[in-house]
Amino acid sequence: MSNIPQSDMDGHLVLHNVRIARVSTVPYFVITQLKKQLQALGESGAFVMAVSSDGPELSILDSMMGVRSVPIEIARSVSLISDLVGLIKLYLFFKRERIQISHSTTPKAGLLTAIAGKLAGVPIRLHTYTGQPWVGMHGLKGWIAKASDKLIAKLNTRCYADSPSQMNFLVEQKIISSKKISVLGAGSLAGVDIQRFNRERFTSQQCEELRNSLLIPQGAPLILFLGRISIDKGVRELLGSFENLKASGSPAHLLFVGPIDIASGAAGCVSREDIEQVPDAHWVAFTDIPEAYLAMADVLCLPSYREGFGTVVIEAAAMGLPTVGTSIYGLTDAVMDGETGLLVEPKSVKALTNALTNLLGDSRLRLDMGQAAKHRARELFDAEKINQQLINEYHALLNMQKIESPIIN
């Protein structure tokens, strides 16, 4: 019987019995970026298998309808033996499960999935680029990373970028042909859950209690960094900028929320000691309620060197929080400079200090930018809209290939 999906009672396209593998390198990325999207795919009737290296976060997925986690170790750094083992395991998994759509994100998972999917005969092989680690790299390491992105483009049947500026960059760099890559909707990987990221869910008392638990005074301006903590996210510049603010007498506090990325293969990492030695700087490890920290903050700061889009920016925006970021591809799509936040030159402590000083010192400007950011996030990046666009895309690809439903014994 044909497996071409049909529509539900509301006219939305669905994916009944379609066997989908979503592959990422680390479970942290899956939970923070893709959880809502995997749930939407499962609820559409698909059999969704979320593949990544093992970790306690994966157990969260197994309670979702139509979704199960599949731990396959995918090393982030180059390791010929472990990479070969991961490749073989992915190939056997694709064959055993008769996967119809493989869809990867993150660089290493993208490369192994592209090779394994091609060898296993997966009919629809997709990858979403979410930032290029080779930007800023030099020598052999940079050449290998760039060549890997080119191979991902060659072996997959279709690719996506999570922002228009990133797509243009990839085409300009001759990584992929413009005919083989596109952006779903206005961009982003999976949109933002606007019901979850809603400031009205949190009372003033809840915000005060959270501040008190972190020893952050009530009324002190709070700069928030949310995400993977590594040098390529601009953490070094943020710490330097914050030290400048404190030297000028600012009462502001700085909060980092996220895992310290000691395994980053890009520009390196910072330590907990690097953060906590700076007066009024705080660190909280991984949290499954980032919205609680956004609710008590005044400004989000993401001074990244490279960013495919910056999902955390639209999560903050949905809660009425402006962002200070860098004027790089990806963030130029997530932040409207001068309207929903401020963009500065990357790797510039001085420029970052000036932007934070301006925004922290003008409550009216923060409020106006926050409201503009909230409106834009709800109009363009509602997760329900983005996820349905992805389902529609899968539907179109399946129909183009007239794929039949596999018989699973």
If asked whether residues 226 and 275 sit together in one domain, one would say yes
Whether residues 125 and 225 share a domain: the answer is no
The whole-angstrom separation of Cα 256 and Cα 270 is: 12
Q: How far apart are CA 111 and CA 306, in angstroms?
A: 19
**Of the listed ranges 52-61, 191-200, 324-333, the one predicted with least confidence:** 52-61
pLDDT of residue 38: 94
Using alpha carbons, select from 250, 274, 244, 243 the residue that is nearest to residue 260: 274
* Residue 4 domain flag: no
Question: Are the C-beta atoms of residues 237 and 347 closer than 8 Å to each other?
Answer: yes
Adjacent-strand bridge partners of 226: 257
Give me the pLDDT at residue 409, please. Answer: 39
* 171 lies in some domain: yes
Q: Is the model's pLDDT at 101 over the cut of 90? A: yes
Stretch 272-288: mean pLDDT: 90
- Contact residues for 119 (Cβ-Cβ < 8 A; gap 6+): 91
Please say if the pLDDT value at position 75 is more than 60.
Answer: yes
With cut-offs at 50, 70 and 90, classify the pLDDT of residue 310: confident
203 and 350 part of one domain: yes
What is the structure's pLDDT at 23? 96
What is the structure's pLDDT at 4? 52
Average pLDDT in the chain? 90
Q: Model confidence over 256-271: pLDDT tens digits?
A: 999 887 755 445 568 8
Percent of the chain at pLDDT exceeding 70: 93
Q: Which amino acid is at 232?
A: D
347's tokens: 């790797």
pLDDT per position as a tens digit, 113-150: 999 999 999 999 999 998 888 887 788 888 988 999 99
Say yes or no: 170 and 204 in one domain. Answer: no
Residues 116/83, Cβ–Cβ less than 8 Å: no
Containing domain of residue 326, as a range? 199-380
Q: Provide the pLDDT for residue 408.
A: 43
Within a domain: residue 36?
yes
* Residues 81, 181 share a domain: yes
State pLDDT tens for residues 12-25. 677 889 999 999 99
pLDDT tens, position by position, 359-376: 999 999 999 999 999 999
More confident residue, 227 or 11: 227
Do residues 41 and 184 share a domain? Answer: yes
Please state which of the ranges 94-108, 124-138, 157-171, 321-335 shows the lowest mean pLDDT.
Answer: 124-138
DSSP 161-213: ESSHHHHHHHHHTTSS-TTSEE--TT--SS-B-TTTS-GGGS-HHHHHHHHHH
Q: What is the pTM of this model?
A: 0.84
**Residue 231 and residue 218 in one domain:** yes
pLDDT single digits (tens) 173-223: 999 999 999 999 899 989 999 999 999 999 999 999 999 999 999 999 999
Q: Structural domain tally of the chain?
A: 2
Q: Are residues 235 and 141 in the same domain?
A: no
Domain membership of residue 407 (yes or no) is: no
Q: Is residue 363 part of a domain?
A: yes
Q: Which of 64, 320, 48 minimizes the C-alpha distance to 192? A: 320
Question: What is the structure's pLDDT at 134?
Answer: 84
CATH number at residue 237: 3.40.50.2000
Contact indicator for 55, 26 with CB cutoff of 8 Å? yes
Whether 168 and 290 share a structural domain: no
Give the per-residue pLDDT at 133.
Answer: 83
The pLDDT of residue 2 is above 90: no
Tokens of 349: 């402590």
Residues 167 and 241 in one domain: no
The predicted pLDDT at position 404 comes to 54
Query: What string of DSSP letters covers 218-255?
Result: TT--EEEEES-BSGGGTHHHHHHHHHHHHHTT---EEE
Q: What is the pLDDT of residue 79?
A: 82
Q: Average pLDDT of 275-289?
A: 91
* 232 and 181 share one domain: no
Instruction: Give domain status of residue 8, yes or no.
Output: no
Asked if residue 340 belongs to a domain, the reply is: yes
Q: What percentage of the chain has pLDDT greater than the value 90? A: 72
Would the pLDDT of 10 be above 60? no
Which position has the higher pLDDT, 7 or 314? 314
pLDDT at site 6: 62
- pLDDT of the residue at 407: 42
Q: For the chain, count helices (H), then strands (E).
A: 15, 13
Query: What per-residue confidence (pLDDT) applies to 308?
Result: 83
Nearest CA to 29 among 90, 110, 112, 96?
Answer: 110
**Mean pLDDT on 45-72:** 89
